[in-house]
């Protein structure tokens, strides 16, 4: 009896740590890491006291662990095959093992559904305040000629969060009622303002593509819902037209001669040359920066200190070759299939919300390297843990 009492106490503490983790992940990398470490230590303590239910959990999620394990194995082998294996393995442990560990406490401790919902609410609250900080940061400086704001994060990191969660707030607004619906409406307004002030074009496109798609999936009256989305697009378009900074930046989307666009094309060209020279396992995981800056950089490049390829797939293709890129596509495809089929077959809202997070990250990841970036990556894996735990319950 004493042992089970201790287990309940440990699980209660882990849950509190997990709440802190959910809230601070979108707000502070340092504080988020502290809560992640506390949550993991608490989870290990719980498993020392009671671990006989872990086998059943791994069996329940075996396909997820299988495809994720294939990706881990591919990246690890690439790291070992590189010219500097210790450096590659160190980055692998940080960007994959540590980041992915954010989902484990939620899955392994099997919290009841009300607690899973509360964890999700803390995460959404953290995202809301992150967007609010971006807006408050921007308001005093709008008179400046050029601006881009990221709140407590870099603009690109904040942009990934916007691409992942603005569609989530839209779906929740359609689904919920009462005070929660009001919160979602406020979160959408703040998120739209943050997206405008953030100024990341890749995130704009991701939101513009993903939001109508998931609204169409959710709504029983597609024409009515899509009409509302279209009205919002027209309103935002009017704001763009009336704001020279926004309209000028939007106009550069298809301008391949603009510096950031042309630089990306040069970086992608360099990354593909790395792949051509090392097609199977790439140049070695964690070696892109050194290889780009010392060997593969284009003579036309104007930003020689770039450290990644600004594209998730091309980055993995360069560093991990066909093996790593194929494993990445497998994860993307299986997670998409699971979440989409879960919504279409069972109308499980958690699956549709995770689909938003997954595709928001990946669509923005077509022009930014965000799959392994600390904050978006941990939030992605944490959201996966919440989805699976809710689905399991």
Q: Tell me the DSSP string of 156-210.
A: HHHHHHHHHHHHHHHHHHHH--HHHHHHHHHHHHHHHHHHHHH--HHHHHHHHHH
- Return d(Cα 16, Cα 188) in angstroms, integer: 27
- What DSSP element (H or E) covers 304? none
Q: How many domains would you assign to the chain?
A: 1
Dihedral of the CA atoms 135, 140, 142, 143 (nearest 10)? 180
Q: How far is CA 347 from CA 48, 341, 357, 387, in A?
A: 37, 9, 17, 13
Is 51 part of any domain? Answer: no
pLDDT at 95: 94
The 10s digit of each residue's pLDDT in 7-53 is: 888 899 999 999 999 999 999 999 999 999 999 999 999 988 888 87
- Return d(Cα 64, Cα 118) in angstroms, integer: 24
- CB 69 within 8 Å of CB 351: no
Residue recorded with tokens 């200190």: 305
User: Which residues in 35-71 are b (16+ Cβ under 10 Å) and which e?
Assistant: bbebbbebbebbbeeeeeeeeebeeebeebeebbebb
Can you count the helices (H) and strands (E) in the chain?
18, 0
Is 215 part of any domain? Answer: yes
- Return d(Cα 130, Cα 149) in angstroms, integer: 11
Paired tokens of 185? 């409406």
Q: Which of 113, 122, 110, 102 is nearest to 38 (CA)?
A: 102
* Residue partners of 134: CB distance under 8 A and separation at least 6: 149, 150, 151, 158, 194, 197, 198
pLDDT at 334: 97
Is 119 part of any domain? Answer: no
Is 100 part of any domain? Answer: no
Is 234 part of any domain? Answer: yes
- Return d(Cα 369, Cα 25) in angstroms, integer: 18
Residues of the chain with pLDDT under 70: 1-5, 145, 221-226, 228, 236, 239-246, 250-251, 253, 255
Q: How far is CA 196 from CA 131, 167, 246, 346, 355, in A?
A: 11, 15, 7, 35, 23
Is 316 part of any domain? Answer: yes
DSSP string of 358-376, one letter each residue: HHHHHHHTTTS--SSSHHH
Residue range(s) defining the domain that contains residue 249:
67-92+124-256+306-392
* Residue partners of 350: CB distance under 8 A and separation at least 6: 342, 386, 387, 390, 391
pLDDT at 2: 46
Please name the residue ranges forming H helices in 243-283. Answer: 244-251, 259-277
Query: pTM for the full model?
Result: 0.92
- What DSSP element (H or E) covers 255? none
Is 130 part of any domain? Answer: yes
pLDDT at 1: 44
Is 211 part of any domain? Answer: yes
pLDDT at 136: 94
pLDDT at 241: 65
Q: Which of 230, 19, 3, 243 is nearest to 111 (CA)?
A: 19
Q: Which of 248, 179, 219 is nearest to 347 (CA)?
A: 219
């Amino acid at each position: 009896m004493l042992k089970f009492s201790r287990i309940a106490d440990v699980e209660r503490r882990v849950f509190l740590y997990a709440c802190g983790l959910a809230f601070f992940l979108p707000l502070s990398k340092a504080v988020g890491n502290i809560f992640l470490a506390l949550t993991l230590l608490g989870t290990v303590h719980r498993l020392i006291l009671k671990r006989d239910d872990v086998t059943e959990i791994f069996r329940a999620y075996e396909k997820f662990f299988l495809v994720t394990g294939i990706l881990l194995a591919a990246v690890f082998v690439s790291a070992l095959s590189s010219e500097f294996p210790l450096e590659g393995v160190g980055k692998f442990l940080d960007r994959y093992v540590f980041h992915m560990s954010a989902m484990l406490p939620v899955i392994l401790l099997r919290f009841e559904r009300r607690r899973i919902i509360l964890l999700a609410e803390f995460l959404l609250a953290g995202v809301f305040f992150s967007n609010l900080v971006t807006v408050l940061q921007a308001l005093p400086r709008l008179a400046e000629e050029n601006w881009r704001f990221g709140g407590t994060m870099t603009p690109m990191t904040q942009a990934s969060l916007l691409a992942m969660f603005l569609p989530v707030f839209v779906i929740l607004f359609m689904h919920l009622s009462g005070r929660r619906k009001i919160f979602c409406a406020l979160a959408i307004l703040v998120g739209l303002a943050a997206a405008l002030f953030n100024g990341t074009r890749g995130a704009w496109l991701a939101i513009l593509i993903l939001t109508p798609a998931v609204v169409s999936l959710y709504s029983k009256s597609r024409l009515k819902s899509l009409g509302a989305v279209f009205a919002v697009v027209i309103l935002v378009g009017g704001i763009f037209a009336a704001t020279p900074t926004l309209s000028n930046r939007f106009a550069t989307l298809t301008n391949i001669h603009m510096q950031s666009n042309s630089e990306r094309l040069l970086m992608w060209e360099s990354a593909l040359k790395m792949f051509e020279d090392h097609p199977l396992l790439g140049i070695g995981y964690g070696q892109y920066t050194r290889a780009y800056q010392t060997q593969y950089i284009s003579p036309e490049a104007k930003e020689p200190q770039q450290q990644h390829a600004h594209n998730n797939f091309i980055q993995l293709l360069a560093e991990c070759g066909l093996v790593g890129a194929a494993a990445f596509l497998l994860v993307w495809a299986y997670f998409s299939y699971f979440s989409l089929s879960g919504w279409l077959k069972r109308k499980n809202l958690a699956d549709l919300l995770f689909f938003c997070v997954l595709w928001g990250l990946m669509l923005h990841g077509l022009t930014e390297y965000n799959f392994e970036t600390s904050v978006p990556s941990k939030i992605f894996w944490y959201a996966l843990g919440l989805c699976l735990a809710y689905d399991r319950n």
